[in-house]
Amino acid sequence: MYEHESCGVRISVSPDYLEDESIPEEGRFVWAYTIEIENTGEHPVQLIARKWVITDANGRTEHVQGMGVIGEQPVIEPGERFRYTSGAPLPTSSGFMSGSYEMRRGDGESFAATIPGFSLDRPSDRLWLH
């Protein structure tokens, strides 16, 4: 689990390698990631847009941006959470994602909430230190 809090918004990320959807011999590796956004502030916030930077093991970087997440622009009340799952395919067996959400408070003020950087690793490729 990866976690970061900024401007009264706590974002947690949990990535998961999808072996059944991946085809390593064709250079297709797929991960799901579940994100939970918690409003730890005192005012409602709305997720307006997203920006991602996705880097594969070869150092190739892709920038992805768009409105909302999974077709929604949720309003999150103080103390509430919004959770969703999405996915990312890569041509390599590992990578890294980071980004931010454009959030808007009820008074119209916009701010960037940092999505913590997280690694995309196949369980069979992880290094274990003893």
- Do 122 and 10 touch, CB atoms closer than 8 A? no
pLDDT digit string, tens, across residues 54-66 = 999 999 999 999 9
Cβ-based neighbours of 20, under 8 Å, separated by 6 or more: none
Alpha carbons within 13 angstroms on the beta-carbon side of residue 38 total 9
Chain segment 73-112, per-residue pLDDT in tens: 999 999 999 999 999 999 999 999 999 999 999 889 999 9
Q: Which domains does the chain have, with CATH numbers?
A: 2-119 (2.60.40.1470)
As a whole number of angstroms, the distance between CA 48 and CA 69 comes to 8
The closest of 94, 101, 111, 1 to 54, measured between CA atoms, is 94
Distance, CA of 93 to CA of 6 (rounded, Å) = 31
